[in-house]
Structure 1
Amino acid sequence: MVIVFALVALAVLAAAAGLHWYLWRRLVRDTTAGPGRARRAGTAVFVAAPVLMVAALVSERAGAPFWLQRTLGWPGFLWMALLVYLLLAVLAGEVVRPLVRRFVERRRQPVPAVAVAVPAAAPQSEPPVEPVPSPEPEPAAPSRRLFVSRVVGAAAATAAVATVGQGTYGVLRGPRVKRVTVPLAKLPRAADGYRIAVVSDIHLGPVLGPGFAQKVVDTINATQPDLIAVVGDLVDGSVKDLGPAAAPLAQLSARHGAYFVTGNHEYFSGAEQWVEEVRRLGLHPLENARIELSGFDLAGVNDVQGESEGHGPDFTRALGDRDTARACVLLAHQPVQIHESVRHGVDLQLSGHTHGGQLWPGNFIAAAANPTVAGLEWYGDTQLYVSRGAGAWGPPTRVGAPSDITVVELRSTRA
C-alpha cells in the first residue's frame, strides 16, 4: 500500500511539474527575447508558486502549526486556482495563436513602391552641401513570433487573473440567500410554510476564519428561519486551532434551534471533538439520530467517511422505528446517501459536499461522482436538495458555482 501511494504521489508530482514547465515555456520563455531580468523573475514565480501550493496542502493535512498553515494558505491555494485558469487560457491561446500570427503578418506586409516620373531639371550650380550626421539607429522591433507570443500570453494571464480575482471576491463577500419551495405530501397543513435554513461546506480553516463565519451567521439569522441545518464540512482543522473561528456559530438563532451532522472533513479534523464543540456552541448534533418536531421528523446520519473510525452512517438506527405516516427530513452530508434514504422512505434529504463543482469545469467531475451536483431532484418518492455550500475548500475561490445559503420552505400538498 505504501509503495502504491508513493508511486501515485510521484506520478502526480511529475504531472504537476510537466504542467508548470509547459506554462513557463508559453508565458515566460516564449514572451522574453532572451535571458534577462524579466525571464528570471518569471522563472522564479513558476518555481516558488508550486512549492507554496504543495506546502499549503501538506501543512494542512499534516497538522502543521496553525501560523504556518495561514502563512502558506493564501499564496499556495490561490496559485492552485490560478493554475487551473492559466492552463485553460493558454490552451485557448493555442487555438487563436495561428489567427493572431496571420493577422500580424498581413499588417506587416510592405506596401509596394510606385515609380513616379519626374521631369529632368536644368542643371544649376549649387552651393556645396554640408554633411548631415546620420540619425541614431532605432531599436529593432520584436520578431513576429515574439510579438504574437506576448499578445497571446498577456491575454491568457489577464483572463486567468481576472477570473480568479472575481471568483475570490465572490467567496469573501459571503454567501447569498437562495430560496427553494419543496412540497411534501405527508406534511400537515399546520406545518405548511415551515422554513429550514440549510448551510453546508463552510470550511473554516487557515484562509476562511472568524470574519467569514460571522458573515455566514448574520446571513442565516437575517432569514429568520424556523430551523437551521448545518450539513457538514464546517471546518478544516482542529478545535484547538479553529475554536475561535467557529465561535460566531453560538449566535445562530431559529425558533426550533440549529442542528448539525458531520461531513467528511470533520473526520480529517477530529470529528468527536468537533461534535462536542458544536454542542457547546448551542447546536444539536444528530449522530444517526432523529427527533420529532411538530409536523415532521428531523433525522441526521453521520458521513460515510466516519466508517473509517467505526462511526459511519446508520440509517436503521436513525429511521428504523419511526412512524412512516409522518413526513421525514434527513440531514446527510453527501448526496450519494440518497439511495439509502429512498430505501428508508425519507421524504426530503438535505445535503452539500459537492460545492457545485466550485471551479468550472469541476462541475463535470462532481457530476461523475455524485447523483446531483446542485439543486432539487426526485429519486423515486424522495426529493434530494444539494446546496453548493457557503465557503470553499483549498482556494477561497468559486467560478461558475456561487456560494449559497438556502432557505427551504416546506409546503403541504394538503393546504
Structure 2
Amino acid sequence: MQPLTSDKADPPVDTSSETSKLRTSQQRVSRRRFLKSMIGSIVAAPFLMGAYSRWVEPKWIRSRELTIATQRLPQAFQGMRIAHLSDLHFGDHTSEQEVDSLISRVMKARPDMICFTGDLVEDHKVSGKAIIPYLKKLRAPFGQYAVLGNHDYRRGTDLATEVLTEAGIDVLTNKARILSHIGSSMAIAGIDDALDGTPEMGNALASVPDEMWTLLLAHEPDWADYTVSSHVDMQLSGHSHGGQIRAPFYGPIFLPEMGKRYPDGVYTLPREHDHPLMVHTSRGLGTTLLPLRLFCPPEWTMITLQSEM
C-alpha cells in the first residue's frame, strides 16, 4: 500500500520576530552592563584617584633637565650644572631610605654645584639628624649651599641649621660666597626666610660687586619682586610645591603666601635698562599639610647655565 503523500510544502517558519526579540534582549543586557560599568567607574574613580594621589604620585620623583640662558655669565662658568633641590619635608611621609635613594640619583648626575632652597624638615617632632649621613654624600666641585624655609622655622631653625652644617652644606643666611674659576668670579648668596625669618638683601649682597654675576637662593619665589630691584642675575626658590594638587586646564588649586606669582618653572622678570632676572621655582620633593600630589609630581632639577649674548 502506497503511503499517503501531499504535493503541498510545509509552510515556512517565520523567525524574524524571534530574532528581533533576541537582539532586543541582547541590546538590553548590553545597555545594562554598560550602565553598570559606567556607574561602577564613577563610584570607583574618587577612590582610585585618592589612592593614586596618596601612594603613587608623591613617590614618583622626577628629574627635570633645564637649560637657562642668562646675560653676564662669565665664559669660565658656561655650561655649569646646578642641582636644585627644595622642600624635602623630612618627617612622617618621607623616609630615610627615600632620602638616600634621592641623593644617590643626584650624585649620579655629577652636578657642579648643589643648591637646596629650604624646608628640610616637616613641622612634626622628627629628628632631622637621622638624615645627616645621607646629606653628607651631597658633594660638588663648586660647593653645596642651602637656605632655610618657613617650616624649618616652625620646627626650629637651630635643628635645620645644625643638620645642614654638620652635613657639610653651607647655610647662606643673609650672606654670600664668591667663587673663582679660570680667572673669573661669580657669587652665590642666600637670604633668610621671608615669612618667618628676617631677610636682609643689603647684608646678603654686601660683599658682592654690582658687576659680578650673582645667584640668589630664596625660599619663597615671590621674593623675586624684591630681587628684581638688585643686581642679582638668577634666583632659585621652592616653597610653592607647584600647588601640590593641580586641576587639568586650571592649574594649582591652592598656593601658599609668597608662592602665588611664580609657583612653578622658569620666569623672566624684565628690568628697565638692565639685564633681566631669571627665576626658577622647584615643585619640591615632599608634601605638607596633606600628603597628596595630583598632576604635580615631585622633582629635583638639573639646571645648565648658558651665556645669553
- Interval of TM-score (by shorter of Structure 1 and Structure 2): 0.7 to 0.9
Q: For residues 345 and 304 of structure 1, do their structure 2 counterparts lie closer, same or farther at Cα, with a shift above 3 Å needed?
A: same
In the superposition, the TM-score normalised over structure 1's length comes to 0.59
The structure 2 residue matched to 1:376, chosen from 266, 281, 292, is: 266
Cα distance in 2 for partners of 1:254, 1:341 equals 26
Structure number having the greater helix percentage: 1
The structure 2 residue matched to 1:363, chosen from 246, 249, 252, is: 252
Number of aligned positions between the proteins? 265
Superposed displacement of residue 254, structure 1: 1.2
1:308-359 Cα distance to aligned partner (Å, 9 max, x none): xxxx111110014421111111000111100111111211000011111111
Match of 1:263 in 2: 149
Superposed displacement of residue 371, structure 1: 1.1
For the residue of structure 2 that corresponds to 1:382, the secondary structure is strand
Pair 1:324 & 2:210 matched: yes
Structure number having the greater strand percentage: 2
Match of 1:75 in 2: none
| Matched residue type, 1:366 | L
Preserved contact between residue 354 and residue 374 of structure 1 (Cα < 8 Å): yes
Pair 1:183 & 2:69 matched: yes
Match of 1:297 in 2: 187
In the superposition, the TM-score normalised over structure 2's length comes to 0.79
Cα distance in 2 for partners of 1:332, 1:401 equals 22
Q: CA RMSD in A?
A: 2.5
Superposed displacement of residue 170, structure 1: 2.7
Superposed displacement of residue 364, structure 1: 4.1
Match of 1:229 in 2: 115
Pair 1:411 & 2:268 matched: no
- Identical aligned pairs, as a percentage? 28
1:165-219 Cα distance to aligned partner (Å, 9 max, x none): 333323224x221111111211111110011100011111112120111122112
| Matched residue type, 2:161 | V
Q: For residues 170 and 215 of structure 1, do their structure 2 counterparts lie closer, same or farther at Cα, with a shift above 3 Å needed?
A: farther
1:242-280 Cα distance to aligned partner (Å, 9 max, x none): 321454111112112211100110011101221022100
For the residue of structure 1 that corresponds to 2:196, the secondary structure is helix
| Matched residue type, 1:275 | T
Gapped runs of 5+ residues in structure 1?
A: 1-105, 109-143
Match of 2:18 in 1: none
Pair 1:172 & 2:59 matched: yes
Q: For residues 278 and 157 of structure 1, do their structure 2 counterparts lie closer, same or farther at Cα, with a shift above 3 Å needed?
A: farther
Preserved contact between residue 201 and residue 391 of structure 1 (Cα < 8 Å): yes
Q: For residues 246 and 239 of structure 1, do their structure 2 counterparts lie closer, same or farther at Cα, with a shift above 3 Å needed?
A: farther
| Matched residue type, 2:228 | V
Match of 2:161 in 1: 275
Preserved contact between residue 357 and residue 366 of structure 1 (Cα < 8 Å): yes
Structure 1 stretches of 4+ with a deviation exceeding 6 A read 148-151
Cα distance in 2 for partners of 1:247, 1:351 equals 25
Superposed displacement of residue 281, structure 1: 1.1
321-330 vs 245-254, greater mean Cα deviation? 245-254
1:92-140 Cα distance to aligned partner (Å, 9 max, x none): xxxxxxxxxxxxxx969xxxxxxxxxxxxxxxxxxxxxxxxxxxxxxxx
